[in-house]
Amino acid sequence: MQLEGASQVLVIGAGPAGSAAATTLARAGVDVCMVDRARFPRDKTCGDAVSAGAMRLLDAMGVAADVLARPHASVVHASAVFPGGERIGRDYLQPGYIVGRSELDDALRRGAERAGATVLEGVAVRRVLRDPETDFVVGARGDRFRWRAGVTIAADGPFSVALPALGCERPRGRHVGVAATAYLRGVTFPAGPATADHYIESELPLGYGWIFPAVEGLSNVGVYQRRDAYGQRSGGLRAAFEAFLDRHPERFCNAERVGRVRNWSLPLAAPPHAISAPGLLLAGDAACLVDPLSGEGIWQAIFSGVEAAKTAAGAIAEGNLSPRLRKRYERAIKTRIARPSFGKRAVQHCLQGLVKSGLYRLRPLRGSVRRIYAGGFLEMTKRS
Ligand SMILES: Cc1cc2nc3c(=O)[nH]c(=O)nc-3n(C[C@H](O)[C@H](O)[C@H](O)COP(=O)(O)OP(=O)(O)OC[C@H]3O[C@@H](n4cnc5c(N)ncnc54)[C@H](O)[C@@H]3O)c2cc1C
């Protein structure tokens, strides 16, 4: 059956970016339709870590209470763990959370519906629609779906249908990360059950291994690397994950895996391509906004979803998505996400150098790492 319709704004993808956009628009009184190829609740390969900053954005959108009513763990302490087991830790004044993505994204989608957005599940978009005369994006279509809209927000993840419309290739090399993750029961937590551990190791250049606090007994464990560094290693990502478990019997000797190892791409900031076009805004992973150092993208997805929604609402009020509005959106993303990512890439290279050379053992250098880490300078998503 053909599904056809029109709305002021169409949002493609109901992950954190899409739901944040749809909720913000619906609350502003804009007629918005959000479509997703999945049916909810659906899972998403992720570390499940929701920073304090992300939770503040969710609170402002009125969905934090629903998220925290679902199974979750609090994170009150984080450690960078160096070879030999040395820990550099920091306490969070405001906790972060571990929330399974089927729960988080379901709460967000429900929030969008509650706010008044139309949500269509099980609808895959194949491509955006263009007006042949103006070349403006005027909606999107799928095999049995055709929708027209004044503004289209592509929030459909790393393999966005917006990329061919922009004439862009999928990001590659240093612009993407790869990560593999699985749930384990019975992991040992030497620094306390509410501690998130990040293992900085020469075996995982330009990346790290993580062990996150357990939710209902299951800990999210994974490995992350920038694609260009991962390309230099032999064996697959799953082998890197298994090797990480093998290197840490002190954590995993009593643990059993529940479910399979899953991997997925992370499009890293700063975006190597445009994030808007006439009639079109990209948000979240579709816009290539993941923190290259930490691999976090949920805060970036929500932040960009909200900013894209404000821009789209402005376009509906003014009658079109003007170059001025698009520039405003691009500036917001550049200031809060793209520019800080350059510093983070530099820190990532420094950490790799320190671990590879063993220099992290030198007291003055260790002191600097401790100050940077404990001061939280690298964690904009937890402060904003
Ligand atoms: C292994 C791994 C671990 C991670 N760990 C963390 C972490 O701990 N903390 C953190 O902050 N970030 C983490 N990230 C990053 C984070 O998962 C993403 O940045 C975040 O999900 C981006 O949200 P989004 O809404 O942009 O995209 P997504 O969450 O990917 O949502 C996109 C939605 O679009 C839908 N869709 C896709 N294509 C179409 C289509 N053609 N038509 C219709 N619908 C479509 C999908 O079904 C999906 O629901 C991790 C990523 C990976 C891979």
Residue 133: which CATH number? 3.50.50.60
The verdict on 255 and 127 lying in the same domain is: no
Determine if ligand 1 sits within 6 Å of the CB of residue 16.
Answer: yes
User: Nearest-5° angle of CA 286, CA 291, CA 297?
Assistant: 50
Quote the pLDDT of residue 147.
98
Quote the pLDDT of residue 99.
98
Determine if ligand 1 sits within 6 Å of the CB of residue 291.
Answer: no
Quote the pLDDT of residue 234.
63
Residue nearest to atom 15 of ligand 1 (CA): 297
Establish if 26 belongs to a structural domain. yes
**Domain hosting residue 24, numbered range:** 3-44+54-72+98-172+269-342
Determine if ligand 1 sits within 6 Å of the CB of residue 46.
Answer: yes
The verdict on 195 and 300 lying in the same domain is: no
Determine if ligand 1 sits within 6 Å of the CB of residue 330.
Answer: no
The verdict on 204 and 336 lying in the same domain is: no
| Secondary structure class of 192 (helix, strand, coil) | coil
CA-48 nearest atom, ligand 1: 8
CA of 157 to the centre of ligand 1 (A): 5
The verdict on 376 and 301 lying in the same domain is: no
The verdict on 36 and 113 lying in the same domain is: yes
The verdict on 314 and 361 lying in the same domain is: no
Quote the pLDDT of residue 380.
42
Which residues of the chain fall short of a pLDDT of 70?
232-234, 374-384
Quote the pLDDT of residue 173.
92
The verdict on 91 and 152 lying in the same domain is: no
The verdict on 132 and 199 lying in the same domain is: no
CA 248 distance to own-chain centroid: 27
The verdict on 150 and 124 lying in the same domain is: yes
Quote the pLDDT of residue 375.
65
Establish if 138 belongs to a structural domain. yes
In this prediction, what percent of the chain has a pLDDT beyond 90? 84
Quote the pLDDT of residue 206.
94
Establish if 49 belongs to a structural domain. no
Determine if ligand 1 sits within 6 Å of the CB of residue 12.
Answer: yes
Establish if 260 belongs to a structural domain. yes
Quote the pLDDT of residue 360.
84
The verdict on 258 and 296 lying in the same domain is: no
CA of 182 to the centre of ligand 1 (A): 16
Domain count, the chain: 2
Query: Residue 89 is part of a domain; what is its CATH number?
Result: 3.30.9.10
